[in-house]
Structure 1
Amino acid sequence: MNELDHLSQVSCANCGTAMQGEFCHHCGQSIHSVLKPVHHMVEDTMDMVLHVDGRIVHTLPPLLVKPGFLTLEYFSGRRMRYIAPFRLMFVLALLAFFVCHLALDGDDVPRDAVVLSTPFDQAGSAQEVQQLLDRRVAAIGAQRQKAGSNAVALAALGAQEARVRTEAADRLAELAHEGKQATASTGTTHSHVNLVRADGATSFFSGEWDAKAHPVQIGWLPGFVNRRLTAALEHMHANVAALADDGEASLATRERLVGQLFSSLPQVLFLMLPLFALLLKVLYVFRRRLYMEHLIVALHSHAFLFLALLLAVLLALLEGWLATIATCAAGPVHLLEWALAIWVPIYLLLMQKRIYRQGWPMTIVKYLVVGWCYLWLLTFALVLSAALTLSH
């Protein structure tokens, strides 16, 4: 078998045209052979999906500090030095949501931050359970004051407090089931149960709804769509009922739903891109730009947002870590977080001004309109993501 991975091959193996480089100018086939070792195939696959090469050095810095630069370069035809817009946004979105998921995961909460960690299983009465609960909640409150405005640390401590209250409720249920509480203290026990459980936490699916007895029947929809809607509502009913309960089942359901939410968010946000590009097309209809140009603007702007989100989460994690070992070093990191938060809206405004080249008054008006509409689109995307998560 003749090898096709040498430039000495004078003719294209596909169409027979004389080769003038590594690709045939007639049919486009590469001169390189597809018969390669497995490790070369793995390298080619990783390069195709992530494309992490020298171009990332020329792409990320201007994406972060030069509003509109990559988009204008792309429009000018200078594209080889930079990562393609869709691939750039796709990789940054995956990284951002992955890091957010890790940061907000309840298992990553610094449990050693709580001063008193006596297991509730050692409590022999409801009063002891409540005393331990009060002290642990107070310790978490002290950690909240140290965390300041660190959103990631506050969310993690909130998840930890919810888990502590769930453990206390489980221990109270065990004590009641084992009959270790005296009849005289039964009323007090119920009051303690109300303290550790959320008051009035009821599901909007609560009732005797049954998917088989009351399936979804919408006349103008096909039968398979009605069946899918019925199954989705049944899953929502089960998930919401599991979340309303206490114990390990509720915690496991919450962790599963959070994982599914972060898995569905990128897909839903990708669906927003064509709508966002259409919005730009409508607002700049007299600029006579193609829809594809607006789509590239949307890709680069979302890539910047995902990069900013990734940096914000990493800075928040760094601040939380520095706060435990060197409080003075956490201050500059907190300033960087504020600088990044201020830079995001300024960046998007400058990007819109440099790309569409309109006057400042018209640019600001359209910027506000785009921001208002995008806020509603984002709300719709989050609601849709939550609904898809609960329906699985």
Structure 2
Amino acid sequence: MSHLKERKEKTCLNCQTEIIGRYCHVCGQENLEPKETVWHLVQHFFNDITHFDGKFFATLKYLLKKPGFLSLEYMRGRRMAYLNPVRMYVFTSAIFFIVLFSMSRPEKMARVMKEDQEETQKTTHSLADLRTDSARLQKKLAAADEEDKDDYRESLEKRNIEIAGIKKKYGDTAKQIFSNKGLDSILAAAYGDSLSRSNLSFVQSKKFRKAIRTYSKASAASATTENFNFLGVDIDYNTVGEYDSAEKTLPDSLRDGWLRRFIVRHGTVVKQEFEENQQLFTEHLLENIFHSFPKILWISLPIFALIMNILYYRHKQYYYVNHGIFAIHVYCATFIQLFLYMMLYALRNATTAQWLHIVIDLANFAIFLWMLIYLYKAMRGFYGQGRGKTFLKYFFICSLMFVINLVLLSTFLLISVFSV
């Protein structure tokens, strides 16, 4: 009910019908004075979305404290006392994603990722470091199972070739520091020596061949080219033509496969578009991925309801719509719980009081545990099956939805990457 003053005239302003009471019995409009203030507009906004006159908080209480209760009430036709499920979903998801996007800004995440990548690329090795690592790998190889021995053997062989190359060029007491690219150049020199001696036995390992391919292509690319990473692949070329030329200089055994070739060619085009600005590309990519989350959940919701329909197909009193309402309530509860978790996390970062950190950590742990068992409790409350059957179905639906959401996320990730 609105807080505006009721009109004395008993004629509906909308359809001109004579009114008995406060509402028109023909069109349903409330007979109020048409003049409104800004505050009334604000009140209308919140009332229309959430029914803050009591419905929202009553719905919220039952949603969090009694999983499955609201879905059961809706199925029984008791709906006026609670907020409409669809409206609840729209409101809770909107608030959740607004907070999520504001707390996880793509530009900040891209900057952190770039700093981490630069720190990783600074990794250097001395001859002593390589010898220490070789000894470590030797011990790992001796203690490894048969299925793991090949990987350790390859890594050890690669390290020993690097050590031998450094000793040959700089001596047994070399003090130089070598980057990963510098070590690849040593492997490339060893590759050339092996070809000249027609001794190809030690160059067959995957790690060695990958290092040689990386170094050979980097050498063929322009010296002024900055590193650009695309789907985990370093793009070392300014143009697609430059990449094709580099491929032709390599033997067939070292050329890229069709998938890597497709990624590198598209990555080179993206690199040209963003003028070799890795951070700008990452910002656009993260922004696309973040805005894909609501779509993923919107797609997965009816799939979730369909799976519940299949799991409870013997219960003829439940229709697909009932499972859909149940899914909406579960998703709404998840949004609210994650919202609370994020708010507590933000409060923890904003304060330095150790006792408050402990309290917040305990509260977040409690929320996490409740999120884990919420679906199980909701299934028990709504469908009323025994604990054993409910737990098996709970485990199955969680596993299956994890795979489905992972597939959807991967699909939208690829769409985001190739649409940047």
TM above 0.5, yes or no, is: yes
Deviation digits for residues 11-64 of structure 1 (CA, Å, limit 9, x no counterpart): 556666542334333444554577866775565345434555543322323322
1:161-310 mapped onto 2 (5 Å cutoff): 162-163=114-115, 165-166=117-118, 191=182, 201-202=232-233, 208=240, 237=266, 241-242=270-271, 249-287=277-315, 288-310=317-339
SS in 1 for 2:411: helix
Q: What letter corresponds to residue 115 of structure 2 in structure 1?
A: R
- Per the alignment, residue 86 of structure 1 pairs with 86
After TM superposition, give the deviation of residue 202 of structure 1 in Å.
1.8
Deviation digits for residues 310-358 of structure 1 (CA, Å, limit 9, x no counterpart): 1222233333344xx2334322322222222221121210110110111
SS in 2 for 1:285: coil
Q: What letter corresponds to residue 273 of structure 1 in structure 2?
A: L
Q: What letter corresponds to residue 44 of structure 1 in structure 2?
A: H
Tell me the C-alpha RMSD between the 2 structures. 4.5
Distance 2:61 2:6 in 1: 37
Distance 1:244 1:327 in 2: 48
Q: Larger radius of gyration, structure 1 or 2?
A: 2
Same amino acid, percent of matched pairs: 26
After TM superposition, give the deviation of residue 299 of structure 1 in Å.
0.6
Contact 2:228 2:234 in 1 (8 A): no
1:1-392 mapped onto 2 (5 Å cutoff): 6=6, 8-12=8-12, 17-32=17-32, 40=40, 43-45=43-45, 47-49=47-49, 51-105=51-105, 160=112, 162-163=114-115, 165-166=117-118, 191=182, 201-202=232-233, 208=240, 237=266, 241-242=270-271, 249-287=277-315, 288-322=317-351, 325-390=352-417, 391-392=419-420
Distance 1:297 1:239 in 2: 47
Contact 1:62 1:70 in 2 (8 A): yes
SS in 2 for 1:20: coil
Contact 1:244 1:250 in 2 (8 A): no
* Ranges in structure 1 where 5+ consecutive residues have no aligned partner: 109-155, 171-184, 210-232
Q: What letter corresponds to residue 308 of structure 1 in structure 2?
A: Q
Contact 2:17 2:26 in 1 (8 A): yes
Over 3 Å counting, the alpha-carbon distance change for 1:87 and 1:161 in structure 2 is same
Distance 2:269 2:60 in 1: 41
Over 3 Å counting, the alpha-carbon distance change for 1:165 and 1:272 in structure 2 is closer
Over 3 Å counting, the alpha-carbon distance change for 1:162 and 1:284 in structure 2 is same
Contact 1:243 1:254 in 2 (8 A): no
Q: TM-score, normalised by structure 1?
A: 0.61
Q: What letter corresponds to residue 269 of structure 1 in structure 2?
A: L
Over 3 Å counting, the alpha-carbon distance change for 1:362 and 1:162 in structure 2 is same
Contact 1:92 1:306 in 2 (8 A): yes
Contact 1:305 1:344 in 2 (8 A): yes
After TM superposition, give the deviation of residue 370 of structure 1 in Å.
1.7
Deviation digits for residues 270-302 of structure 1 (CA, Å, limit 9, x no counterpart): 122222212222222222212221111011000
Q: What letter corresponds to residue 48 of structure 1 in structure 2?
A: D
After TM superposition, give the deviation of residue 7 of structure 1 in Å.
5.1
Contact 1:6 1:32 in 2 (8 A): yes
Distance 2:69 2:272 in 1: 47
SS in 2 for 1:289: coil
Over 3 Å counting, the alpha-carbon distance change for 1:38 and 1:344 in structure 2 is closer
Q: What letter corresponds to residue 91 of structure 1 in structure 2?
A: F
SS in 2 for 1:272: helix
After TM superposition, give the deviation of residue 362 of structure 1 in Å.
1.9
After TM superposition, give the deviation of residue 380 of structure 1 in Å.
2.7
Deviation digits for residues 160-198 of structure 1 (CA, Å, limit 9, x no counterpart): 36336559989xxxxxxxxxxxxxx9987965999x979
